[in-house]
Structures are given as structure tokens and as C-alpha cells.
Amino acid sequence: MQSKLESSVVGRLLISLGVTVTVLAVLVVNMPSSHLRAQLIGPAGWFVRATGLDQDWGVFAPPRTISLYVEGRVDDADGTTSVWTNPLRPGVGAYTDYRWHKYEEHLRLDDEQRLWEPYARYLADRSRAAGRTPVRVSLVRRWAQTLPPGPGPEHGPWQEYTFFVLPVAA
């Protein structure tokens, strides 16, 4: 069937027309805003969505200019302090911990105060499971300006702010 289509004049014309329409549609949806794009986007947009060729460049965010993390600091009855952070594994291992990083993105926000106490209690429970006696859990935002790539440090000096403290009953 393919060789029949490619060997006939009508078949080659249809293939050429299909390639031309596809290239033009992709060009139209990627044009900057203009009157011409506004006129052509309807049919071109329909075509690229129907064929699965649509591209949404919105997934490419500008690089972050700040590095921000949340630490859980658990003070124990014996005066020691342990620090709990989300794991940062390189390569494929990073995907197994990604849910914790998404959780941390929400946890650090003032609008997500409902998450603070349950997370602090979770850290206290983990500390107990490790044989410690927690008396206080503090959630701390740590941040630093991310510097451009190249020689020199990756980031500026770290700053921190304790945004939640949970006293833990013995």
C-alpha cells in the first residue's frame, strides 16, 4: 500500500500536501502574537491538537533565583538536636523522593499553615521511633540566592527563619 501511494502522482501529491499542511500548522502555532496568527490559529490549532503535534512551552519556567529548603529541627530531652531534611538523591533516585519535594514546596508557604503541625508531629514520631525523646520540633525555612553557573559559589550565604514551633509532650 505504501509503495503504491508513493509511486503514484496522486499519492505523492497527497503526501506533499500533508507535509506542507503539517509544517505550516506548526509554524502558525509557534508564531508570535500578530493579526496573521490570530486569523490562522483556529484551523492550525485544531490540526496540531488533533495530530498530537501541539507544544506547550509553559512547562519551561525561568531558572530559580533562590534556593529554599525546609528543615525540621527536633530538640530532645537530653539537650541534643537532630535535623531532618528531605532526601536529595542524584539521578533516577531523585524521582522516588519527588513527592517529598513537592510537599516541601507547599509546606514552606504561609498559606499552607494547615500542613505545619501534622508535619512537625510526623518528625516527632520519627524521632521517637529512632529512640529519642523529643520535646520540641521547629520548622525552619533556609534560603540563599542562587548564583549563575560558572566559577565561584553556587549560591550566596544561607539565611533562615523559624516559622513554626511545636512543643511535644513527653
pLDDT digits (tens, 9 = 90+) for 62-76: 777 888 889 999 999
Do residues 54 and 137 share a domain?
A: no
Do residues 81 and 138 share a domain?
A: yes
Give alpha helix (H) positions in 88-169: 93-96, 98-107, 116-129
The predicted structure's pLDDT at residue 162: 97
The predicted structure's pLDDT at residue 60: 67
**Hey, which bits of the chain come out as E strands?**
66-76, 81-84, 134-145, 159-167
Mean pLDDT across the chain: 87
Beta carbons within 8 Å of 163's beta carbon, 6+ residues apart = 108, 110, 116, 139, 140, 141
Residue with cell 512543643: 167
Do residues 135 and 95 share a domain?
A: yes
Domain holding 138, by residue range, is: 66-167
Q: Which residues pair with 140 in a beta bridge?
A: 71, 162
Examine the fold and report which residue of 59, 79, 105 is the final residue of a domain before the chain moves on.
59
Do residues 132 and 117 share a domain?
A: yes
The predicted structure's pLDDT at residue 61: 67
- Is the pLDDT assigned to residue 55 strictly greater than 70? no
Do residues 45 and 73 share a domain?
A: no
Do residues 40 and 77 share a domain?
A: no
The predicted structure's pLDDT at residue 170: 67
Which amino acid makes up residue 63?
P
pTM of the predicted model, to two decimals?
0.62
Examine the fold and report which residue of 24, 43, 59 is the final residue of a domain before the chain moves on.
59
Do residues 153 and 70 share a domain?
A: yes
Examine the fold and report which residue of 59, 87, 102 is the final residue of a domain before the chain moves on.
59
Residue 72 CB neighbours (<10 A): 23
